Amino acid sequence: MKEHILIVDDDSDILELLEYNLSSAGYDVLGFLNTKYVRQVLSEESVDLIIMDRNLPEIDGGLYVEMLRNKNINIPVIFLSAKGSAEDIKDGFLKGADDYVTKPFNMDELLLRIKAVLKRYHSELSKNGSVMEYKDIKIDNNMRTVTIDGKNIEITKLEIAILKVMISNQGRVLDREFLLKHIWKDSENIRQKTVNVAMKRLKEKIDPLRQKEYIKTIRGVGYLMS
């Protein structure tokens, strides 16, 4: 499975250069000129690495990464920035960077640094337990895949997060407030209707023929992994 890299850089030429070279190196790449859609992408897609510029028009990239870390979003980050003083680099690491590359940069060196950061990241995932199982459901955290009865299920990062929380709390009815807090993290900006829609889609995927009901809807209360 291809590793997914998200790039944020407001220089369209550099963004295009990065997208081309990283795609050529075998990565699945998403590029943005600002941070507007980053949180949405991170909540819906599996992202292995973020490459972030510091000099963004709406917010300093360092502050943005610090915000992600405060929301317990721990995807590795490489800063790619013209801010190259010792203090800038120190500040970048303090704000949550896993590596720091200054502009102008050497593409071959950047690719090696990307490979090294991803290797460390996947090694940490392995240490933390790579597989979660419940009945005939198997979640592979390293590969970000879900299988049921040995059959692979097409599933999003958000749906995997929901499934993991439900499995970890099997036998317990979880209300929507609980799910908002433990999955979306920032419940102030998410409506409870969003939980209903996400759960409906997940249930349709893991039980398309309704032969088994892994997650039960408890009307007026919440959801139960039985």
pLDDT for 193 equals 76
pLDDT at 80 over 70: yes
User: How many domains, the chain?
Assistant: 2
Residues 187 and 109 in one domain: no
Query: Which ranges constitute the DSSP H helices of 59-213?
Result: 61-70, 86-94, 107-127, 157-168, 176-179, 192-206
Pick from 127, 144, 161: which residue ends a domain?
A: 127
Give the residue among 148, 111, 144 at the shortest CA–CA distance from 125. Answer: 144
Interval 63-87 mean pLDDT: 88
Give the number of C-alpha atoms closer than 13 A to the C-alpha of residue 213, restricted to the C-beta side. Answer: 7
pLDDT at 187 over 70: no
Instruction: Choose between 77 and 177: higher pLDDT.
Output: 77
Residues 20 and 119 in one domain: yes
Token readout for 68 is: 């992600």
Give the residue among 214, 180, 173, 213 at the shortest CA–CA distance from 196. Answer: 180
CATH of the domain at 140: 1.10.10.10
**What is the three-class DSSP state of 220?**
coil
Q: What is the CA radius of gyration of the chain?
A: 19
Give the domain range for residue 38.
4-127
| Averaged pLDDT score across all residues of the chain | 85
**What is the three-class DSSP state of 50?**
strand
pLDDT for 9 equals 94
Pick from 68, 100, 127: which residue ends a domain?
A: 127
Instruction: Choose between 18 and 37: higher pLDDT.
Output: 18
